[in-house]
């Protein structure tokens, strides 16, 4: 049970939440109740009233876990959507079903494969309006160079929507380079393009000259502090390599 009191410039809100659960092996019986007086000044911080009860079933075998959740909403007097999730060390999928009639509302999945010098990630989904784009991201690294990129594909009729690619490497202790581009196929244009050449002085200062679609840029950074370095980032955030 938890209680909260929030004050905003022109309003305030108090809320009380209660969520007991009882587990017996792979089966859990849960109850969720919430009441609030007043309202938040922000939409994302709303605390709507809740009065729900449900059952959860969980199972695990050979590195795979899955759960099934179903419940009843006393306020809406209706069955809650059925949620089914499946997970492993390198793959996860979740599906939401409507009960009456039984229909798939939404499904999402993501996975990854990794080797000593490479990494591939993929994700996709489906909803009541149709299939979502499939996004594939990856990285390949060697001693003197690294390539990283992502591809957005239309699905199920596979067609390229957008590609983002970046590469960087070193020629010597003093000289290094970087190339990056992002291309949008529906509009047939380069969203970003950049080529850079870097010269390191005394191992502590790096001077860079970059040519991009808008002109030229001169940069100066300290290799010992990589967080302060300017790096390429796709405009399409889904193509950025990251965790699942």
pLDDT band of residue 244 (cuts 50, 70, 90) is very low
In the chain, how many domains are there? 2
- The tokens of 135 are what? 């996004």
- At residue 206, the pLDDT reads 85
pLDDT digit string, tens, across residues 163-190: 999 999 999 888 999 999 999 999 999 9
Please compute the mean of the pLDDT values over residues 64-82 and round it to a whole number. Answer: 93
Cα 195 to Cα 61, 179, 215, distances in angstroms? 49, 5, 11
Are residues 227 and 138 both part of a single domain? yes
- At residue 231, the pLDDT reads 62
SS3 readout for 113-159: EECCCEEEEEEEEEECCEECCEEEEEEEECCCEEEEEEEEEECCCCE
Are residues 129 and 199 both part of a single domain? yes
Mean pLDDT (the chain) is 86
SS3 44: helix
Residue 88 forms part of a structural domain = no
Residue 93 forms part of a structural domain = no
Residue 102 forms part of a structural domain = no
Are residues 152 and 223 both part of a single domain? yes
Residue 92 forms part of a structural domain = no
Cα 167 to Cα 4, 122, 147, 196, distances in angstroms? 50, 20, 4, 10
- The rounded distance, in Å, linking the Cα atoms of 51 and 81 is 15
pLDDT band of residue 214 (cuts 50, 70, 90) is confident
* Boundary-marking domain end, from 80, 104, 130: 80
pLDDT band of residue 208 (cuts 50, 70, 90) is confident
pLDDT digit string, tens, across residues 140-158: 999 899 999 999 999 888 8
User: For residue 163, how many other CB atoms are within 10 A of its CB?
Assistant: 19
Residue 100 forms part of a structural domain = no
> What is the domain extent for residue 31?
2-80
Residue pair 94/83 in contact (Cβ under 8 Å)? The answer is yes
Residue 140 forms part of a structural domain = yes
215 CB-contact burial (10 Å; exposed 0-12 / middle 13-18 / buried 19+): exposed
- The tokens of 137 are what? 């991201």
Please compute the mean of the pLDDT values over residues 211-232 and round it to a whole number. Answer: 71
pLDDT at 41 over 70: no
- At residue 230, the pLDDT reads 56
């Amino acid at each position: 049970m938890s209680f909260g009191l929030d004050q905003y410039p022109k309003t305030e809100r108090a809320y009380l939440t209660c969520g007991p659960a009882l587990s017996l092996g792979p089966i859990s019986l849960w109850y969720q109740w919430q009441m609030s007086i007043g309202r938040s000044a922000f939409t994302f911080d709303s605390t709507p009233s809740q009065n729900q009860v449900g059952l959860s079933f969980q199972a695990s075998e050979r590195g795979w876990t899955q759960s099934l959740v179903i419940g009843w909403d006393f306020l809406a007097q209706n069955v809650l959507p059925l949620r089914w999730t499946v997970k492993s060390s390198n793959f996860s999928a979740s599906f939401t079903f409507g009960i009456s009639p039984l229909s798939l509302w939404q499904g999402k999945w993501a996975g990854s494969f990794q080797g000593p010098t490479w990494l591939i990630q993929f994700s996709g989904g489906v909803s009541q309006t149709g299939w979502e784009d499939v996004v594939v991201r990856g990285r390949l690294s060697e001693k003197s160079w690294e390539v990283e990129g992502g591809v957005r594909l239309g699905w199920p009729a596979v067609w390229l929507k957008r590609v983002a690619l970046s590469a960087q490497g070193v020629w010597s202790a003093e000289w290094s380079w970087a190339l990056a581009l992002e291309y949008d196929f529906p509009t047939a244009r380069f969203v970003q393009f950049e080529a850079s050449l870097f010269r390191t002085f005394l191992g502590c200062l790096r001077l860079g000259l970059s040519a991009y679609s808008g002109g030229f840029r001169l940069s100066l950074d300290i290799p010992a502090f990589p967080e302060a370095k300017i790096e390429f980032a796709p405009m399409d955030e889904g193509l950025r390599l990251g965790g699942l």
